[in-house]
Structure formats: structure tokens, C-alpha cells
């Protein structure tokens, strides 16, 4: 299917589950925003200042087991084999427990990503959506996807979108309690099976985690309000371009949205600069390709890697053009795919 070093199947074994525990396992894919979420209007409920749209990635995601047991003293997280901060996971587990009123059990969460954690591929998106789905499964809760999306959102905003496949919109919502701020599908992967190439510039964890960087941008960037206004305005055009499969319109709108987000973040104090020289080289290469008649466009999340979208027929050429750039360590190939599922 592909030749990526990072894309593996579910070929890892979880620790044996304890007797008397309730557990379930889920795979949830990562997603890449074509219209970015950057800035919160409510920190506690994790509500976004603006709506966002993403494409769900087929091959990259998190395999996550959630195991509830009456003997566990607290919620714990093992991420890629190492103990990790469980704060965001706990928020999701609390929301799931609140829907299963008799359950007070704490949980052990084991999660493994099949791509480099923290490299701008939004491991929180795949990880926390997988936690929501697996936790619901473990407790036998058959919750609608929209409700799971709102629960995953509490842990990490971008996770709200990974519950669905294809092209997905996370609505800003209007209500103060956040009940209308959840994702819904725009179009299936089959509607427009675009290829996604991830030019890996750096696989190490990013310098500033999204949550803190986003908050710093909101608090200190003089461009924040303008960004939110422009971002909200760009949603309708990006949604329409996806529905019409209008590649040129999507290319222009998604690149502009991405550059505005980064410009806004760069203007924060202290500045948030995710880019490396190879990031800009990849951006330049994409622009050259497009000028030369190869329909491709780029986007960049909160990290230095560049994600390039194109029709499958142009993917080999685009991948070759990116792979030869100094500072680009690898170019992973995937495509738009299905959303989170139990495994
Ligand atoms: C640049 O979803 O990681 O990837 O809600 O604070 O966990 P929190 O933020 P997170 O931010 C993702 C930011 C982004 C853009 C996007 O995915 O829309």
C-alpha cells in the first residue's frame, strides 16, 4: 500500500489486561487542517475562536487501549512505551465517566503512534480521539459520533475532527456551554481521494506545544483578531472547494489560511516560529511545481513539517521533488482516509 517507514499495522501488543477490568482498543487517524484552528474562546471547555476544516489521514494515527479497573488509583498514560502526562486524557475520561453514571473506576491508557510524536502531525488529535472511542467502548456506551467528537474536543480541539473520515468541519459553535462545538463530516474519502505527502523536516518533538502557543498568540499577537475574522470567513470557501472538488480554489484558500495562522503566531511575544529552512524550501518547491503545471498545495500545522496535497496521479512527481531538498529527511505518503474505529 505504501513504503513508509512509520506506517505500521496494529502490530503491537498491549500489556495484558487485569482480571475484572473493562477494556477496549481503538485506532484513530491523525488529521491535517486545511482551515486551521488557532486560538480558543474558552480555555476550560476548549472552545475554538474560529471553525476549522481538516482532511483525515489514512495511515497515520494512534492505537490506543483504555482499561478501567476498580483497583487503579489514578488515570495513567503510557505513550509509545513511556509514562506520559495524563492531564488531557483525564479530561476525556472524566467526560466519558460522566455519561456512565455508576462508574468511578480509573483507567490505564496505552497509546502508540505510528508516526513521530510531536512532529506537527497532531498526535493529540489521533491520541485523544482514540481515547474517547476506546473509553466509550470499554464502558459499553454507544454514543453518537458527534457526542464523541465533543468529548474528544475537551481533550484536544483537533481530536474532535478525527472521529470522522474524509473532509471534516469542526464548527465553532455559538453556545457558551460548547454543546454545539463539534465536528461533522463534509465529504467522504471517496468523494475526493487526494494524496497527502508529509515532508519530514524534523521528527523531534516541537518546541512549543500547541495549547500554550495558541494561548500566547491569543494573548500577545496584535494580529489575533484579524486572524480569527479571516479564518472564520475562509471556512465557507474551503468547504465549497472541497464539495466542488475545485483543486485550484482549495489550493489558494488553504495556503493562505495556513500562512495567516503562522504569521499571526510569529507576531506573538515571544514569537512562535515553527519553520526551519527546509520548511520554507518545501513551500518554495510546492509553489514552483504549481507554477510549472503540477497541481499541488502545502499546509503546515504547529511544527516544521510540510504536508502537501495533490491528486494521486501527481504524487510520485511531487514526492520526488520534495525528497531531494536538503533538510527534508523523508517524505511519507498517505491519502485521505476513514475516521476512528474500534480494533
Ligand atoms: C495547528 O488541537 O493540538 O494543528 O486544543 O490545545 O489541544 P489543543 O490544540 P491542538 O491544536 C492544533 C492546532 C493546529 C491546527 C489544527 O489542527 O486545526
Beta bridge partners of 40: 48
CA-nearest residue, atom 6 of ligand 1: 211
CA-nearest residue, atom 14 of ligand 1: 301
String of DSSP letters for 193-242 = --EEEEEES--SPPSS-HHHHHHHHHHH-TTHHHHHHHHHHHHHHHHHHH
Sign of the Cα torsion 112, 117, 121, 126 reads: positive
302 lines ligand 1 (CB under 6 A): yes
Task: Tell me the C-alpha distance between 309 and 169, whole Å.
Answer: 18
91 lines ligand 1 (CB under 6 A): no
In terms of Cβ atoms closer than 10 Å to its own Cβ (0-12, 13-18, 19+), residue 291 is exposed
Q: What is the pTM of this model?
A: 0.94
156 lines ligand 1 (CB under 6 A): yes
- Grid coordinates of 280: 520554507
User: Cell 489514578 appears where?
Assistant: 74
Beta bridge partners of 190: none
Q: Calculate how far, in angstroms, residue 148's C-alpha sits from the geometric centre of ligand 1.
A: 17
Q: Calculate how far, in angstroms, residue 37's C-alpha sits from the geometric centre of ligand 1.
A: 6
User: What's the pLDDT at 19?
Assistant: 82
CA-nearest residue, atom 11 of ligand 1: 210
User: What's the pLDDT at 116?
Assistant: 63
User: What's the pLDDT at 13?
Assistant: 42
- What is residue 46's DSSP assignment? T
Task: Tell me the C-alpha distance between 261 and 300, whole Å.
Answer: 9
Q: Calculate how far, in angstroms, residue 233's C-alpha sits from the geometric centre of ligand 1.
A: 19
Coil vs helix vs strand at 58: strand
37 lines ligand 1 (CB under 6 A): yes
Q: Which atom of ligand 1 is nearest to the CA of 211?
A: 6
User: Cell 509553489 appears where?
Assistant: 287
173 lines ligand 1 (CB under 6 A): no
- What is residue 19's DSSP assignment? T
Residue among 39, 121, 122 to mutate when testing ligand 1 (max atoms within 8 A of CB): 122
- Please list the alpha-helical segments (H only) found in 114-169: 123-138, 145-155
User: What's the pLDDT at 285?
Assistant: 98
Q: Calculate how far, in angstroms, residue 34's C-alpha sits from the geometric centre of ligand 1.
A: 12
52 lines ligand 1 (CB under 6 A): yes
User: What's the pLDDT at 265?
Assistant: 98
33 lines ligand 1 (CB under 6 A): yes
Residue among 43, 157, 170, 299 to mutate when testing ligand 1 (max atoms within 8 A of CB): 157
Enumerate residues 6+ apart whose C-beta is below 8 A from 254.
Answer: 34, 35, 238, 297, 299, 309
Coil vs helix vs strand at 48: strand
**Count of helices and strands (H, E) across the chain:** 8, 14
Q: Would you say 105 and 66 are in contact if contact means Cβ atoms under 8 Å apart?
A: no
31 lines ligand 1 (CB under 6 A): no
What HEC string does 311-327 produce? CHHHHHHHHHHHHCCCC
Residue ranges in the chain modelled with pLDDT below 50? 1-14, 118, 207
Residue among 31, 60, 205, 214 to mutate when testing ligand 1 (max atoms within 8 A of CB): 214
Coil vs helix vs strand at 152: helix
Q: Calculate how far, in angstroms, residue 76's C-alpha sits from the geometric centre of ligand 1.
A: 22
User: What's the pLDDT at 2?
Assistant: 41
Task: Tell me the C-alpha distance between 302 and 292, whole Å.
Answer: 28
Q: Which atom of ligand 1 is nearest to the CA of 120?
A: 4
Amino acid at each position: 500500500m505504501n513504503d513508509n517507514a512509520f506506517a505500521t499495522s496494529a502490530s503491537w501488543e498491549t500489556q495484558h489486561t487485569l482480571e475484572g477490568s473493562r477494556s477496549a482498543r481503538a485506532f484513530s487517524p491523525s488529521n491535517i487542517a486545511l482551515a486551521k484552528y488557532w486560538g480558543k474562546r474558552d480555555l476550560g471547555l476548549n472552545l475554538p475562536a474560529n471553525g476549522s476544516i481538516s482532511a483525515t489521514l489514512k495511515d497515520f494515527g494512534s492505537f490506543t487501549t483504555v482499561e478501567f479497573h476498580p483497583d487503579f488509583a489514578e488515570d495513567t498514560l503510557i505513550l509509545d512505551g513511556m509514562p506520559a502526562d495524563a492531564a488531557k486524557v483525564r479530561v476525556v475520561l472524566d467526560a466519558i465517566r460522566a455519561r456512565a453514571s455508576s462508574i468511578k473506576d480509573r483507567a490505564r491508557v496505552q497509546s502508540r503512534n505510528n508516526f513521530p510524536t510531536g512532529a506537527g502531525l497532531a498526535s493529540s488529535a489521533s491520541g485523544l480521539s482514540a481515547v474517547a472511542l476506546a473509553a466509550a467502548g470499554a464502558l459499553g456506551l454507544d454514543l453518537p459520533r458527534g457526542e464523541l467528537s465533543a468529548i474528544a474536543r475537551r481533550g484536544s480541539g483537533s481530536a474532535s475532527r478525527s472521529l470522522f473520515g474524509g473532509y471534516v468541519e469542526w464548527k465553532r459553535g455559538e453556545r457558551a456551554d460548547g454543546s454545539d462545538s463539534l465536528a461533522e463530516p463534509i465529504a467522504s474519502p471517496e468523494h475526493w481521494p487526494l494524496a497527502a505527502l508529509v515532508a519530514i523536516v524534523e521528527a523531534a518533538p516541537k518546541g512549543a506545544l500547541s495549547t500554550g502557543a495558541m494561548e500566547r498568540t491569543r494573548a500577545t499577537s496584535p494580529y489575533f483578531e484579524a486572524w480569527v475574522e479571516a479564518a472564520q470567513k475562509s471556512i465557507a470557501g474551503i468547504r465549497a472547494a472541497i464539495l466542488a472538488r475545485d483543486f485550484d480554489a482549495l489550493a489558494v484558500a488553504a495556503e493562505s489560511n495556513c500562512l495567516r495562522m503562522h504569521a499571526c503566531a510569529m507576531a506573538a511575544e515571544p514569537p512562535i516560529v515553527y519553520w526551519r529552512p527546509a520548511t520554507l524550501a518545501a513551500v518554495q518547491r510546492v509553489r514552483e511545481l504549481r507554477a510549472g503545471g503540477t497541481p499541488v498545495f502545502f499546509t503546515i500545522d504547529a511544527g516544521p513539517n510540510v504536508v502537501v496535497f495533490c491528486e494521486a496521479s501527481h504524487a510520485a512527481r511531487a514526492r520526488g521533488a520534495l525528497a531531494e531538498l536538503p533538510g527534508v529527511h523523508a517524505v511519507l505518503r498517505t491519502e485521505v482516509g476513514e475516521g476512528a474505529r474500534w480494533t
